[in-house]
Amino acid sequence: VDPSSSKSYTNYHKLSEVASLMRNCYISGHTVVKVKSGTYSDSAYFSNINGLSSNSTLTIDGGSSSSTKIIGSKNVMLGFEEASYITVKNLYIENNNTTTTTKVALTFTGNITDITVDSCSIKAPVNSNNYYVYDLSFANIFKGGQGVVNNVTVSNTKFSGGYMGVYFPGDY
């Protein structure tokens, strides 16, 4: 993702364009989406990516969380649904939405497995009484609580703001 270069089949200007493409493609092999340093204001929601497996993974790499930033005011800034074998690393992700009830910087929903979040800085608006303001959410709320979550690793990642830094509900 590099908005300063021409669009092509190997370069896009927004992560949302990559997410849209992946809804219509099949991943075969390890795939790395490199995000060029800069500040991006669009949100991206990846869902039902075909072909992901232990031999066919998706990595979204910003290079450095101090210079590659996704900042905006949508309900979710970066989201993945029914996704497995995904790594998100070296990104600063901030949701500064103050107008809607749901404010999540990074979320994974539905059936998810083998997820890694590494060397990121994740921020949501400061809110003392809203249960839907999270920095990082592993939630099955969009699937009626029916999803399965396995093998999640979060390392070297800073959380700030939000009602909760990490929301990871279990059976109750």
Q: In what order do the strands lie in the sheet with 112-118?
A: 31-34, 58-61, 84-89, 112-118, 149-155
53-70 pLDDT per residue, tens: 999 999 999 999 999 999
96-137 pLDDT per residue, tens: 887 767 788 888 888 888 999 999 999 888 765 665 667 777
Of 143, 147, 136, which Cα lies nearest the Cα of 170? 147
What does 47-87 look like in DSSP terms, one character per residue? E--BT-BTTB-EEEE-S-TTTEEEEE-SSEEEEEES-EEEE
In whole angstroms, give the CA distance from residue 125 to residue 95: 7
∠ Cα 139 144 146 (to 5°): 75
* pTM of the shown model: 0.88
- Token readout for 34 is 């490199």
Identify whether the C-beta of residue 119 lies closer than 8 Å to the C-beta of residue 90: yes
